């Protein structure tokens, strides 16, 4: 015999709704999403982007000028544009260097077309390290720089394997940054960090 007071009715459980990057663009086209320029897609969710402060903007502009002048013609410097990592992930890094021998420039680049990603991080440091860096490693992006404005250093992460970067280097303002992905790319960290 079952007492009615002992049974708890089953309630519907909340479900996380994920949507693909393609669905996201369809929703924008249909006018279903406003302020889409202030978000990126991470794991099928729309994640608001951080506000860009003065120092952050200055560093991105400085790197844009430097890279545009110092990388080979076979590289495209893309500033704060989407990078399609998967069907459910399309972050918007501060800088992407795409290999034009593999990438035609007519759509958002894919991981196999990217040589280097740079994230300039102040308030976004934890998010860039904990969420975006593992996504880049899973996607086999060869090298990621995090310009850590909080600590006034540049972190270079390389050798992705099993979703993590196997090597990390820290550059202080008095040191010269040397890219492994682009061996001819060298610049004093002080030019970035001030």
The mean per-residue pLDDT over the stretch 74-87 comes to 96
Bigger pLDDT: 169 vs 19: 169
Q: What is the reported pLDDT for 165? A: 98
The mean per-residue pLDDT over the stretch 99-109 comes to 94
Contact 151, 112 (CB under 8 A): no
Contact 181, 140 (CB under 8 A): no
Contact 117, 93 (CB under 8 A): yes
pTM for the predicted model, two decimal places = 0.89
Q: Beta partners for 48?
A: 39
Contact 122, 94 (CB under 8 A): no
User: Measured between alpha carbons, how far is residue 155 from residues 76, 126, 170, 173 in Å?
Assistant: 22, 13, 5, 11
Asked whether residue 181 carries a pLDDT value surpassing 90, the answer given is yes
Q: What is the reported pLDDT for 7? A: 66
Asked whether residue 105 carries a pLDDT value surpassing 60, the answer given is yes
Q: What is the reported pLDDT for 37? A: 76
Asked whether residue 75 carries a pLDDT value surpassing 70, the answer given is yes
Q: What is the reported pLDDT for 6? A: 63
Residue with tokens 């303002």: 173
Q: Beta partners for 42?
A: 45
Query: Residue 116 and residue 21: Cα distance in Å, rounded?
Result: 22
128: which residues sit within 8 A by CB, 6+ positions away? 119, 121, 146
Residue 144 C-alpha from the chain's centroid: 9
Considering the chain, what is the average pLDDT of its residues? Answer: 92
Nearest to 139 by CA among 90, 69, 194: 90
In this structure, what token pair is assigned to residue 167?
A: 């090597």
Q: What is the reported pLDDT for 38? A: 81
Q: What is the reported pLDDT for 151? A: 97
- Domain 52-193 coded CATH 3.90.1570.10: yes
Q: What is the reported pLDDT for 155? A: 98
**19-50, pLDDT tens digit by residue?**
899 998 898 899 888 777 788 999 999 998 88
How do the domains of the chain map onto residue ranges? 52-193
């Amino acid at each position: 015999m079952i007492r009615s007071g002992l049974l708890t009715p089953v309630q519907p459980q909340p479900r996380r709704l994920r949507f693909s990057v393609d669905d996201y663009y369809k929703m924008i086209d249909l006018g279903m999403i406003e302020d889409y320029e202030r978000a990126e897609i991470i794991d099928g969710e729309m994640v608001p982007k951080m506000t860009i402060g003065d120092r952050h903007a200055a560093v991105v502009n400085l790197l844009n000028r430097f890279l545009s002048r110092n990388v080979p013609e076979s590289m495209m410097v893309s500033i704060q544009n989407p990078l399609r990592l998967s069907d459910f992930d399309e972050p918007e890094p501060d800088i992407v260097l795409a290999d034009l021998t593999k990438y035609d420039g007519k759509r958002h680049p894919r991981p196999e077309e990217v040589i280097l990603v740079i994230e300039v991080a102040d308030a976004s440091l934890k998010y860039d390290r904990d969420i975006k860096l593992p996504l880049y490693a899973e996607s086999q992006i060869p090298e990621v720089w995090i310009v850590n404005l909080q600590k006034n250093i540049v972190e270079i992460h390389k050798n992705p394997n099993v979703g993590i970067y196997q090597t990390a280097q820290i550059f202080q303002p008095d040191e010269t940054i040397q890219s492994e992905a682009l061996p001819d790319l060298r610049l004093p960290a002080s030019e970035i960090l001030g």
